[in-house]
Amino acid sequence: MSELFCYVVSYDIRDQKRLQRIHKTMMGFGEPLHYSVFRCDLTRKGREEMAEAIMSLIEKDADRVMIIDMGPVDGRVEERVEFLGCDHREHQSKRDVIIA
């Protein structure tokens, strides 16, 4: 099995339609931490696929995407990310759907 790496992806998209397409695409690659910030645990190949998907959607002269490599998932990723204010996991759990 390929090693997983943690990537933090943040984007600034000028057009609302492109912004929505990028957000929908990113939902397939990772977990939203904020509307335009995602944590993605991916293989190197998965990172390449994500970057290609993003590049196919953005306007290269107007939009900007930042990808930060946080290292192996089994490393010290959790120690390197600090949240101030409410716990981001509380926001995630509010979106969970339970089907009984």
pTM attached to this predicted model: 0.80
pLDDT, tens digit (0-9, with 9 covering 90-100), for 33-81: 988 999 999 999 999 999 999 999 999 999 999 999 999 998 777 777 7
The hierarchical CATH code for the domain 5-94 is 3.30.70.240
Q: Tokens 């390449």 appear where?
A: 48
Confidence tier at 13 by pLDDT (50, 70, 90):
very high
Q: Per-domain residue ranges for the chain?
A: 5-94
* pLDDT tens digits, 77-99: 777 777 788 765 555 544 444 45
DSSP string, 25-81: HHHTTSEEEETTEEEEEE-HHHHHHHHHHHHTTS-TTT-EEEEEEEEETTSSHHHH-
